[in-house]
Amino acid sequence: MANWVSAASLYTPRGKRKYLTGDERARFIGAAMAHPRADIGLLCLTLAHLGCRISEALALRPSSISADQGLVSVVSLKKRGRLHVREIPAPDDLLASLSAYSNGLRHEKLWTWSRSQAWRLIKAVMAEAKIAPGVHATPKGLRHAFGLHAIRSRVPLNLLQKWLGHASMKTTAIYADAMGEEEREIASRMWSVNPDTPVETMKIVPGS
C-alpha cells in the first residue's frame, strides 16, 4: 500500500489531512491561553507544546515537571508492556504555568479527567478557535501539527523521534515529507514565465 494511505501518514485514504495547519495550531494556542479555566487551557497548551498523546498528558504528575531543567518527563507504554520515560523540552512560560498550577493540588495527577472527557474538552477549544470539524481537528491532529512545526523549525529527525516516542524513524519521517514554505516559494517560480511580469499583463499566444 502506498505511503500516503498507510497508517503512518498525514492523510486519510480519501486524501484528507490529519494535521492542523500552522495557522490552525496558532489559533488553538491562542484560544487555550484565553480560556477562562486554567486546567483546560493548560492541558491544551501541554499537548500543543509537547506533542504527547492525550493519555500521556493525563498521566502527568507534579513530579513530571522539571522547570529548572526546562523539560517535562512523559511516561509512555512501549511494546510488551514496558514503560519508557522520555524527556521533552518545554517553553519557559508553559513550565512556569504548570509549576504554579501543580502547587497545592490535592490529587496525584495534574488532571483527573477520563480520556474521553478530555478529548471532548479539547475539541471544544478547537471549535472556539474556529477550526473546522474533521479528522484534523482532534488531539491526534494536534500531535501531527507539533511534528510538522518541529521539522519546519529545523529540529533533527532523531530528536523529534525521541520527543514523540516513535519506535521507528520511518514513522517520524512522514513529517519531513510535508510541503513547507521553502517548497512553496520554489514552486511559485513555475507559475510565471518572468517572475517580474505581473500575471495580468502576460499575453497568451494562440497555438502556444
Backbone dihedral region of 37: left (phi > 0), alpha (psi from -120 to 50 degrees) or beta?
Answer: beta
Nearest to 108 by CA among 77, 75, 68, 64: 64
More confidently predicted of 196 and 153: 153
Report pLDDT for 3.
36
CB count, 10 Å around CB of 54?
A: 21
Angle formed by the axes of helices 115-128 and 22-33, to 10°? 100
pTM of the model: 0.84
| Adjacent-strand bridge partners of 73 | 87
Count CA within 13 A, CB hemisphere, residue 103.
Answer: 6
Report pLDDT for 183.
74
pLDDT exceeds 90 at position 197 = no
- In tens, the pLDDT along 80-138 reads 667 889 999 999 999 999 999 999 888 899 999 999 999 999 999 999 999 999 999 99
Nearest to 126 by CA among 147, 112, 140, 111: 140
- For residue 76, the SS3 value is strand
- In tens, the pLDDT along 4-54 reads 344 578 999 999 999 999 999 999 999 999 999 999 999 999 999 999 999
Q: How confident is the model at residue 204 (pLDDT cuts 50, 70, 90)?
A: very low
Nearest to 59 by CA among 71, 72, 41, 49: 72
Report pLDDT for 201.
45
Nearest to 35 by CA among 26, 23, 44: 44
Domains and CATH numbers, the chain: 3-181 (1.10.443.10)
